Structure 1
Amino acid sequence: MDQQLQVDQQQLVSAWQERLPSFMDDGDSYSVQPDEANRKSLLIHFNAAGRQSYSLDFRCTYVDSREVAVDLLDVEKAGLHTDERTDAVQQLAQRYTRQIHECAQDLKGLTNP
């Protein structure tokens, strides 16, 4: 049975802002915003800690009430667009993708009551 997401987007954004830090590494910062183009999506921006000054933008879309699809949208280094195929970026992208999935799992009580 297909479980459509029934949660208000703003409520979802608030829940993510509250829960995401518990899955993140010390020093990393983030922001969560609603995706104006899709009410089932959130835009999540990560700033990686450390001297590399990487920032990564993801779209997290609820496929249904239990599952999210995560897409890497953009990578910047010190404010400039950078190649997302480098090892350093790939490792960051994998880590943040895992953190997004872990947070989505943690919020299942809200999205899949």
Structure 2
Amino acid sequence: MASNDELSVSQEDLVEAWKRTLPERLAPGDTAEVFANGADPRAFHVHIKTQGRQMMEFDFAVQYVDSREIDIQLKDVERDGQTVDERPEPIQELIGDYRRHLHETAQALHHFTHM
């Protein structure tokens, strides 16, 4: 998909910006790690750990479509190191919350990615 609105930020700078900005959008106690995707300079992985009784972990693949829009793919949901079914409603609600936080982070970084 060609666009005249290409992302012009290096992957290293992008990952660092996400590492600083995403935790500000998560619930208190939740943690996030952001890792570069070696195969695609516009993409990275986000690993989120929930706080509290659930002790769940979520893995997302995030890719910039252009300098403002991101595509988010859920890769895995785990509890105690075991993959779990993500279809139950409480897990779907958490996935929706985290997807929203990822979009909010992308919006907060518009000034950085959309030059």
Q: TM-score range by the shorter chain?
A: over 0.9
Residue 37 of structure 1: CA displacement? 1.8
**SS of alignment partner, residue 5 of structure 2:** coil
Q: What are the residue-to-residue correspondences of 1:78-93 with 2, within 5 Å?
A: 78-93=80-95
Q: What are the residue-to-residue correspondences of 1:50-65 with 2, within 5 Å?
A: 50-65=52-67
Give the Cα separation in 2 of the matches to 1:30 and 1:104.
15
Residue 2 of structure 1: CA displacement? 2.8
Tell me which residue corresponds to 1:34. Answer: 36
Tell me which residue corresponds to 1:22. Answer: 24
How many residues align? The count is 113
Superposition TM-score, scaled by structure 1 size? 0.96
**SS of alignment partner, residue 29 of structure 2:** coil
1:95 aligned onto 2:83: no
RMSD: 0.9
**SS of alignment partner, residue 45 of structure 2:** strand
Percent identity over paired residues: 38
